[in-house]
Amino acid sequence: MTTRRNHAPEFKAKVAMAALRGDKTLAELSSEFGVHQAMIAKWLRQLKDDAASVFAKKQENGGVPEKQLMALHAKIGQLTIERDFLAKACGR
- Would 1 be classed as within a structural domain? no
- Would 75 be classed as within a structural domain? yes
- Would 3 be classed as within a structural domain? no
Q: What is the mean pLDDT of residues 40-55?
A: 90
- Would 2 be classed as within a structural domain? no
Mind listing the pLDDT tens digit for each residue in 61-83?
566 678 888 999 999 999 999 99
Q: What value does the mean pLDDT of the chain take? A: 88
Distance from C-alpha of 45 to C-alpha of 2, rounded to nearest angstrom: 26
Instruction: Quote the pTM value.
Output: 0.59
pLDDT at 33: 95
- Would 59 be classed as within a structural domain? no
Is residue 20 within 8 A of residue 44, CB to CB? The reply is yes
- Would 4 be classed as within a structural domain? no
Domain that holds residue 49: 9-54+64-89
Buried b (16+ CB within 10 A) or exposed e, 64-75: eeeeeeeeeeee
- Would 36 be classed as within a structural domain? yes
Distance from C-alpha of 18 to C-alpha of 32, rounded to nearest angstrom: 11
Percent of the chain with pLDDT over 90: 68
| Number of structural domains in the chain | 1
Residue 17 makes CB contacts below 8 A (sequence gap 6+) with: 47
